[in-house]
Structure 1
Amino acid sequence: MQAVQIAKAKRWAKQISITGAAQIIVQAVGFLSGILVIRLLPVEQYAYYTIANTMLGTMTILSDSGISSGVMAQGGKVWQDKKKLGAVLNTGLYLRRRFAWVALSITIPILSYLLWKQGADWITCVLITASLIPAFFAALSDNILQIVPKLHQNITPLQQNQVTVGIGRLLLSGLTLFAFPWAFVAVFASGIPRIWGNGKLKKIAEPYIDRSQRANTSVQVEIMRMVKRILPSSMYFALSAEITVWLLSIFGTTTAVAQIGALGRFSLVFSIISSITSIVVLPRIARLNPKSEKKLFFIGMSILSTFFVCLIAVSLLSVLSPYVLWILGDNYSSLKQEFVLVLIAGALKMVSGLVFGISTARGKPTNSMHIIAGNIMAITIGALFFSLNELAGILSLSILIGFTSLIINVLNLFLNLKFFINN
């Protein structure tokens, strides 16, 4: 028995180390692309770029609204059956296409207003909006397609695709921004490689699914049940996930918007951790047999280990902040305090997201209204004590929101322990 446990531990250590190494490469390439954009774009154009990227994230959240979580949960039940998994996948893709048009109708007017608020003329607004379309349509399916190799733990082709897309973005950004240092060019250069990578994802998923299967009504009902549970929080998080950028875009200066965008590049540390949990941990939790006696131990160790890794990352980067900020250039090298606040906010968001993902993978996501009510309370308290037109004040508010969300998600997990034990 002990030999079996040791063998399992070795397999886990090997898979996590391989996945982690690959994600370091993926994030390093993405980081280089981000630094290239920061250094080549003027502060004003980088502020526009930050707003556009934030809006792309909002578009993606709204077009998903819990669909990918539903696909993961339903796919985890039938992952060994090509026909049933194909039906789950195509149902998810069908729903995302329908949600996409709603997301566009909501976000494009908001994007135009925020760009105008920061001084962009109408031509710039149109060009930036148009440049977002390729990346948005690629995002409609890539999150769903990735679920198939994740469930089968066929991780290597998935990561190779991510590395290739990242290198393509780096090369395209470098070739275009030297000659055309405009925000819409940077956004467009980022989106084109994602379309190519999307095509590769379809080929990676192909051996595990029957693509001829049509969207299934019963699967759609189950996915929509998950969507209805998550949708209110998805709509709320679409606006609140990047609340720092939203508030600075409305109340702050163009320089402050550029600063928060530049500092956010160092969230790659938590992106690496998030990618590992998304690729290795959450699919395995979704697949756990209801009769398994080690479910709670596995869930608890996943949360604790992620927390300690985030704690080490925050501590180490805080000590090295003068050297880290030098990478961004002279415009951002004095933001030591703000940098530490960004790290703390990112760590809280990472751990909170993991806890929420675990609950969702087992079919009991945190009630949307609890999250919204808690975050509104945090925003109200934060608005009374923090200055919302200063970067440090906005980041302090972000930390308060992240801490509140973490507490709510942990409470949901704890209160549903009996369900997790029996299902």
Structure 2
Amino acid sequence: MTWAGRLGIVGLGQISMQLIGLCAGILVARLLSVDQYAYYALAIAFLTSINVTSESGLSSQVVAIASRRMPDRTGFGGLFALANRYRRRIALAFTAAGAPTLYILLTLNGADIATAASLVAVVVLTIFSAISVTLASSSLSLFYRFGPIQAAGIAASVGRLAGSALLIALSTVGALVPLMANWLSTLGQSVALRRSLSREVDLNDKRQRGDDALELRRAIARLLPVNLILVIQSQGVALFLGVVGATVVLAQVTAVSRYTLVFGFVSTILVSALAPGFARYRRSASRTLALYGALVGCATAVLAAALAVMQIAAPFLLGLLGDSYQGLQAEYAILNLGGAVGAVGAAATGFNLARGWIRGAWLMIPATIVWAVLAFTLADVTTAIGASILIATSYLPTLATATLQATLGLRRMGPGNDAAQMKS
């Protein structure tokens, strides 16, 4: 299949998933009360935090290791199992520490004991159901098996939409309905992806090759602290608003930020379809730089166009969320601008990880500290405008770090050959 065909499959799949997900998010925002939507936002923030932290670059590192051995697939089952084991351990550690915190935040914001306990339980189930999703998706993309990835993702999105629609009939249940739908959909997606991957490689062969364990541990050691910083950037505002009990502001910024999914799917399309080929690209440093610049530049141009369209459609899109959110036009513009910048950084990071360019991740820590000091000093995060500014600017450290990682990765390449760099 040509690259255009692959991009078309991934593009159609991602557009379908994002549109379905956007519809589900709009339904949840419209149908839940402000308080229930705040509980939902806190639960999703915690779920996202654990998923991002437990990932720690493992999926991309599996792709980077396996791509060096292609077309030989021997030992891939052991590599996949090892990455799964590491991710499960990280998720278990952070869930054990974080689940009580989520329960406390929910009760602080008015949830009764039964509601808080049930929401925490469903979130924990979802975390461990999602362990294999990213790993299996990344592995299938290495073998250019985009169809099963998109099919499983679309089915999961439809399941989440159905759960959101159930709120019409079961409105008294509140945030528990969409969260349960999310859990069941994630579980089904994980099973489907693993089944598809088992047709490509022998997942029962758990033998390990060479220094796989050492490489994965090094990736975790380098990227786990960075992912913790990413969690602070992306979910810190929601968790902070939960701590101070700013329920209305939390619901407002979470609902309006739903539309930033539009920018996320653009970078996801490019990374999902093109990162495996970029990982295999064997040319000089100058040609690799040119290709890298073309990929990131393409993402930037498309995202800028999407930002303009989204701004024109602001009155209509805000109206879809309901009366509680229709007047948040300034917040909408700020969040979308930040979402576009964040999507550029995500695309650049995805291409970096596909090449194994993880050196320079340390920059995320000082960059985030500088951002946090300036943002929390200059913006009143307890207002919708202040919280929107904080969220929008939180993507800047990621963009700066991705730039440094690409620079260091290219410098380590030998003239005319990147084999040495790919082994590092």
Give yes or no for TM over 0.5: yes
Corresponding position of 1:185: 177
Contact 1:46–1:258 (8 Å) recurs in 2: yes
Q: Distance in 2 between matches of 1:168 and 1:97?
A: 25
Given candidates 194, 205, 211, the residue that maps to 2:203 is 211
Q: Distance in 2 between matches of 1:163 and 1:418?
A: 40
Q: How is 1:76-115 mapped onto 2 (pairs within 5 angstroms)? A: 76-115=67-106
Given candidates 144, 165, 188, the residue that maps to 1:153 is 144
Corresponding position of 2:161: 170
Provide Cα deviations, 1:277-323, integer angstroms capped at 9, x if missing partner: 23112222222236687322221111101111111111111121011
SS in 2 for 1:82: coil
Provide Cα deviations, 1:101-121, integer angstroms capped at 9, x if missing partner: 102112212212321232222
SS in 1 for 2:38: helix
Say if 2:130 is the partner of 1:139. yes
Return the letter of the residue paired with 2:387: I
Q: Sequence identity of aligned pairs in percent?
A: 26
Contact 1:74–1:223 (8 Å) recurs in 2: no
Q: How is 1:161-310 mapped onto 2 (pairs within 5 angstroms)? A: 161-175=152-166, 178-179=169-170, 180-214=172-206, 216=208, 218-251=211-244, 253-289=246-282, 294-310=287-303
Contact 2:233–2:391 (8 Å) recurs in 1: no
Q: Distance in 1 between matches of 2:167 and 2:120?
A: 18
Contact 2:56–2:219 (8 Å) recurs in 1: no
Say if 2:322 is the partner of 1:329. yes
1:221, distance to aligned residue in structure 2 (A): 1.0
More displaced, 195-204 or 177-186? 177-186
1:215, distance to aligned residue in structure 2 (A): 5.5
- Note closer, same or farther for the CA distance 1:375–1:397 as it changes in structure 2 (3 Å cut): same
Q: Distance in 1 between matches of 2:197 and 2:408?
A: 36
1:220, distance to aligned residue in structure 2 (A): 1.2
- Note closer, same or farther for the CA distance 1:412–1:148 as it changes in structure 2 (3 Å cut): closer
Say if 2:335 is the partner of 1:342. yes
Q: Distance in 1 between matches of 2:243 and 2:307?
A: 29
Corresponding position of 1:67: 58
Contact 1:50–1:258 (8 Å) recurs in 2: yes
Q: Distance in 2 between matches of 1:398 and 1:172?
A: 28
Return the letter of the residue paired with 2:79: V
Contact 1:134–1:192 (8 Å) recurs in 2: no
More displaced, 301-310 or 269-278? 269-278
Let me know the Cα RMSD of the aligned residues: 2.0
1:243, distance to aligned residue in structure 2 (A): 2.4
Q: Distance in 2 between matches of 1:334 and 1:62?
A: 35
1:252, distance to aligned residue in structure 2 (A): 5.6
Q: Distance in 1 between matches of 2:118 and 2:102?
A: 12
Return the letter of the residue paired with 2:54: S
Contact 1:23–1:159 (8 Å) recurs in 2: yes
Aligned residue-pair number:
414
Say if 2:363 is the partner of 1:370. yes
Corresponding position of 1:379: 372
Contact 2:167–2:174 (8 Å) recurs in 1: no
Q: Distance in 2 between matches of 1:178 and 1:209?
A: 44
Provide Cα deviations, 1:174-231, integer angstroms capped at 9, x if missing partner: 2355224411222111110211121111121112211122162721111111111111
1:62, distance to aligned residue in structure 2 (A): 2.1
Q: Distance in 1 between matches of 2:15 and 2:137?
A: 18
Q: Distance in 2 between matches of 1:191 and 1:70?
A: 26
Return the letter of the residue paired with 1:144: L
Return the letter of the residue paired with 1:27: Q
1:259, distance to aligned residue in structure 2 (A): 0.9
SS in 2 for 1:331: coil
SS in 1 for 2:326: coil
Corresponding position of 1:31: 22
Contact 2:234–2:391 (8 Å) recurs in 1: no
Q: Distance in 1 between matches of 2:348 and 2:207?
A: 30
Corresponding position of 1:4: none
Return the letter of the residue paired with 1:194: T
Q: Distance in 1 between matches of 2:376 and 2:285?
A: 46
Contact 1:303–1:355 (8 Å) recurs in 2: yes
Q: Tell me, which stretches of 5 or more residues in structure 1 are unaligned?
A: 1-7
Contact 2:53–2:228 (8 Å) recurs in 1: yes
Given candidates 341, 352, 362, the residue that maps to 2:345 is 352
Contact 1:73–1:361 (8 Å) recurs in 2: yes
